[in-house]
Structure 1
Amino acid sequence: MMAKVGIRDVSKAAGVSVTTVSHALSDAHQSRVNPETRRHVQEVAARLGYAPNRLASGLRNQRSYLLGLVSDQIASTPFAGEMILGAQDAAYERGWLVMLVDSGGNPDLEERQVSTLLQHQVDGIVYAKMYHQQLTVPGGARGIPLVLLDAEDLDAKVSSVAPDEVLAARTAVKELLDAGHRRIGFINQNNEIPATSGRLEGYRSALAEAGIEYDADLVTYEVPDVSGGRDGALKLLRLPEPPTGLFCFRDPQALGAYEAAQSLGLGIPEDVSVTSVDDFEIISEGLWPGLTTVALPHYEMGRWAVSRLLDEIEDPEKARTPERLLFECPIVRRGSVAPPRASMPRDSDRKDPSRMNSATAAPTEGAA
């Protein structure tokens, strides 16, 4: 068996003192070593396969080097992998581990899970939600470093990160405006959460910037799934003066909008252009043509939440001035947007839906 590499082995190979090695490999004391020496020591340590003794370090610093990630239904949502991966990557790069628990939305179970994490002496908790919402920090999580992920603290006492809902909607609507659309419908969702009002604000803001007056008849509130998108699109596309572009609250609704357009004999994007928010790839890439949508930055949010939490653990003064970050959401362009026609097809001019291929979807198992 190969002998375990110790700090003195790194010291000897790097030609520096044990103290210098200790500082160069320490999260808290790296600044005491000049950058060139620090890189040299880290390269030698990596080459030798040296790993710091976190148990001994933890005993000295009274730290476990463990973080808890508490979620309601994150682990069962399509975006869980990216959010958790971002959190784990940020922790691993700084020598920490993340313990994940998921309550499935059960508050009693969540309370027990938080208690269990504290019994395992986690040094901090990332409290994550499956969608952007406002909340009051649970009592069990108070008194320990804490950062909210995809949520906001009503008391504004802890740091938090969430998508910029207003900017996400503005980006999606601007894509339609830039293509020449001036009559744009919005299929919003029917639950009162920050994203509902935020995306409506972004929709109205984008129209106002383009000099277009807001028309409440072009906004419909539906359940945030495929059936809601289908119902909303049918309402809007059956108006006496229907929109030429549709902005959907989320990708499953966009899938429903594709189905509604097809049922009316309308092609996408030649008759109706569609944008959305999510970039749920099983839908956005599975649809034909592909869906142009604004991606929610789940990986980046997970990564930021852990990085901020570790900053506050290592420098408690940072926690005295909580930071609220709203992440920009990038657009992913595919094939669902084109310039509008001069006018919508009349019923007699519409295509035979049985022969249309431009608004069909890949199998939708699990898409909603």
Structure 2
Amino acid sequence: MARRAKKQATMWDVATLAGVSQATVSLVLNGAHDGRVSAKTRDRVMAAATELDYRTNAYARSLRSGKSGMVGFISDEVASAPFAGRLLKGAQELAWETGHVILSVDTYNDPDLEAAAIDMMRSYRVRGVIYASMYHRVVQLPGALEGVPTVVVNAQEAEDRVLSFFPDEEAGGYSATRQLLDAGHRRVAMINIQSPDSTLPAGLGRLAGYRRALDESGVGFDPRLVRYGTGDVDDGLTLARDLMTTGEAPTAIFCGNDRTAWGAYRALESLGLHVPDDCSVVGFDNQDMLAPNLDPGLTTLALPFERMARDALRSLLNPPVGDVADYPIECPLVTRGSVASAKVRTA
């Protein structure tokens, strides 16, 4: 015999149990009670709602108000990428804290899927949309988001029409190079993660920070100490070996990402050299499956995925006053064992 479904409690049931009006229950459960309902009455309403296992009808509330407790999260491959997935984690955590739910779709750069996702989110009357990228790039917002409150994360919106939250690449490159300079190194090389003609913000910013740190320290930029790769391990291996065997070898290498740094470790080992005794190495990204597991652990800059997402969602829920569209977020330095003081060279 089928079990009869338990009757769902109504707002009237809560009001009867709490001994208040339905209007008072509505004010309390919808968070509009400040200054209008005493703390004692609020506690009585909440206790009654808990006892009756009352659930608000979020869909009906969204129809009445024109807003829902949902926030859209549209990305290329963020939700399915372990590394960049911390963007979604950061957004979900703050959403939960503020009584919202994230509605997430990975589009894999398919325009039709993206259009369908936006249409679905509009039909659910989302509070707004977080438009995220797996890697830092400049993006054009789809026209279908016109009129929908939107923020961009881990990317920069091309026309500065909405707020963009992204890693401060230049400050990160500066911090990485400064870490090596402060350890006494003066021949500091860099292996970048893109070609000289690439327009991607990550490589451009990290190189600019490297140059600024060298210039400020009085060491000066030497193009002979820079190599350009694609950010993979094999490039780090090949280019680090080239740096160490061509002319006067550097005593430290700033690698544009952690995979390149792993390749540099392998190159130094193949030459009978050791990190950091013979050459210090700093990476970028703080990939948790890689950086702490190298031997020695890699000093690197962490991409602020969770903070970017939280700041973006916070601004979506409570838009800031002013015209600032770009919000570069600091990349924290994570120190491990790959940097040592430079050895004094003797004649």
Alignment TM-score > 0.5, same fold: yes
User: CA distance change for structure 1 residues 241 and 119 in 2, over 3 Å: closer, same or farther?
Assistant: same
Residue 98 in 1 paired to residue 102 in 2?
Answer: yes
Q: Give deviations 1:326-351, integer Å, cap 9, x for gaps.
A: 1111111111111122349xxxxxxx
Distance 1:319 1:261, change over 3 A: same
- The answer (yes or no) to whether the contact 1:65–1:123 under 8 Å persists in 2 is yes
2:338 to 336, 339, 356: 336
Could you tell me whether the CA contact under 8 Å between 1:157 and 1:322 is conserved in 2?
no
CA displacement 1:238-259 (0-9 Å, x = unmatched): 2321111111111111111111
> Does the residue aligned with 1:70 lie in a helix, a strand or coil?
strand
Following TM superposition, by how much is the alpha carbon of 1:31 offset from its aligned partner in structure 2, in angstroms? Answer: 5.0
1:14 deviation in Å?
8.0
Give the alignment's TM-score, normalised by structure 2.
Answer: 0.86
- Report the CA distance between 1:114 and its aligned residue: 2.3
Residue 293 in structure 1 maps to residue 300 in structure 2? yes
Farther-moved stretch of structure 1 (35-44 vs 165-174): 35-44
- The separation in 1 between residues aligned to 2:214 and 2:43, in whole angstroms, is 55
Query: Can you list the C-alpha shifts for 1:277-320, whole angstroms capped at 9, x where unaligned?
Result: 111011102211111111111111122222222224xxxxx588
Out of 221-230 and 52-61, give the one that drifted further: 52-61
Q: Secondary structure of 1:114's match?
A: helix
Alignment correspondent of 1:358: none
- Offset of 1:42 from its aligned partner? 9.3
Partner-residue secondary structure (3-state), 1:277: coil
Task: Tell me how far 1:98 sits from its aligned partner.
Answer: 1.3
Q: Structure 2 vs 1, CA of residues 31 and 104 (structure 1 numbering), >3 Å: closer, same or farther?
A: same
Rounded to whole Å, the distance in 2 between the matches of 1:174 and 1:34 is 56
1:88 is matched with: 92
- What is aligned with 1:277? 284
The CA deviation string for residues 6-46 of structure 1, in whole angstroms up to 9 with x for no partner, is: 6577778889876565445545x465469977995797589
* Residue number among 176, 197, 205 corresponding to 1:198 in the alignment: 205
> CA distance change for structure 1 residues 320 and 329 in 2, over 3 Å: closer, same or farther?
closer
Q: Return 5+ residue gaps in structure 2 as ranges.
A: none
235 and 59 in structure 1: CA distance in 2 versus 1, 3 angstrom threshold = same
CA 1:160/1:34 → structure 2, altered by over 3 Å: closer, same or farther?
A: farther
Residue identity matched to 2:266: E
Structure with bigger strand share is 1
Supply the distance in 2 between the matched residues of 1:38 and 1:334 (Cα, whole angstroms): 54
The corresponding residue for 1:238 is 245
Counterpart of 1:158, as a letter, is V
Relative to structure 1, the CA distance from residue 293 to residue 282 in structure 2 (aligned partners, 3 Å threshold; closer, same or farther) is same
Q: Is the contact between residue 158 and residue 319 of structure 1 (CA under 8 Å) also seen in structure 2? A: no
Q: Which runs of 5+ in 1 are unaligned?
A: 313-317, 345-368
Percent of aligned positions that are identical: 39
Question: Counterparts of 2:121 and 2:50 in 1: how far apart (Å)?
Answer: 35
